[in-house]
Amino acid sequence: MSAKVVVVGSLNMDLVARAQRLPRAGETLPGDSFFTVPGGKGANQAVAVARLGGSVAMIGNVGDDAYGQQLRQALFVEGVDCRAVDTCPGVSSGVALITVDAASQNCIVIIPGGNGLLTPQSVQRFDALLQAAEVIICQLEVPTETVAWTLARGRELGKQVILNPAPATGPLPADWFANVDYLAPNESEAEALSGIAVTDLGSARRAGERLRQLGAGKVIITLGAQGALLVTAHGHRHFPAPQVQPLDTTAAGDTFIGGFAAGLVRGMEEGEAIAFGQRAAALSVTRAGAQPSIPYLAELTP
């Protein structure tokens, strides 16, 4: 069976330290716990789609090390089609060094490893997957030219293209926007892309409108506990977030994106799919780690 969702993106092994607070520059801090779990924005989103009822394939790279085998296996056991996850000889797998504080805030350093070797040509080898998909999802943890190629190919094939511009450090190339149906940044990414500081719903709306002026079809800005804002040609709509006690926000955005995409391919209308993604993300922040925190469909069904 062909996958309805294809994720083109990163796989990382997350090395997670929990501490009461995040260290300052130059400081050594005693922590509370340490664990190693599969992560990476692309792989997290693929796992979220699979656990939430969508068929999904992943296009990406791992290194030829033990982490690479574990990252591939983590996708396989969830039913993600990982035939297009290549192993790069002589290269390490992507790694993310994550610190989470007592207030559930995190900071992350990423070493790309094999993710950095995902070229447009390597995605093109799996063009049949893109052709068979309904939805294509990209993030920014693989090379820029690969994201650009995939967005353009998705548009050419008439697919629904979702770009989660994470991590974002500055404006996107101008020619990307027209190839994106749903641009889905968080507050800081929306600010980096639009130049408008996002501090509340009003500024989120202005940032969303700016991103639409740049050419994005629709914009969904995720606002943490403030919910999400959808900005379209017809106006804007706020989706309040389910209120939960957060433990660890790592992969909350990925869970939202995967849940939204799963909702779309399961036939939900747009607003329903956003609310579905939000419910999944809310549950994920009550649990530790990236992929272990992503809920299964049965947990969301009342």
Residue number with CB closer to ligand RIB (226 or 250) = 250
Is residue 12 a contact point for ligand RIB (CB under 6 A)?
yes
Number of H helices, E strands in the chain: 10, 13
Least distance in Å: CB of 166 to ligand RIB? 7
172: which residues sit within 8 A by CB, 6+ positions away? Answer: 165, 193, 214
Is residue 290 a contact point for ligand RIB (CB under 6 A)?
yes
Contact region with ligand RIB (CB under 6 A), list: 10-18, 66-74, 142-150, 175-183: 10-18
Residue number with CB closer to ligand RIB (15 or 297) = 15
Q: Is 96 helix (H, G, I), strand (E, B) or coil?
A: strand
Question: Is the distance from CB of 262 to CB of 53 less than 8 angstroms?
Answer: yes
C-alpha–C-alpha distance, residues 26 and 29, integer Å: 10
Binding positions for ligand RIB, 216-255, rule CB under 6 A? 250-251, 253-254
> Side chain identity at 98, as an amino acid letter?
I
Chain position whose Cβ is nearest to ligand RIB: 39
Residue number with CB closer to ligand RIB (96 or 214) = 96
Q: DSSP E strands: which ranges in the chain? A: 5-8, 12-18, 33-39, 56-63, 81-88, 94-100, 106-111, 135-138, 160-163, 182-183, 218-222, 228-232, 235-239
Annotation says 248 is catalytic: no
Is residue 39 a contact point for ligand RIB (CB under 6 A)?
yes
Is residue 44 a contact point for ligand RIB (CB under 6 A)?
yes
Residues recognised as catalytic:
254
The footprint of ligand RIB (CB under 6 A) covers 10, 12, 14, 39-41, 44, 96, 108, 110, 141, 250-251, 253-254, 290
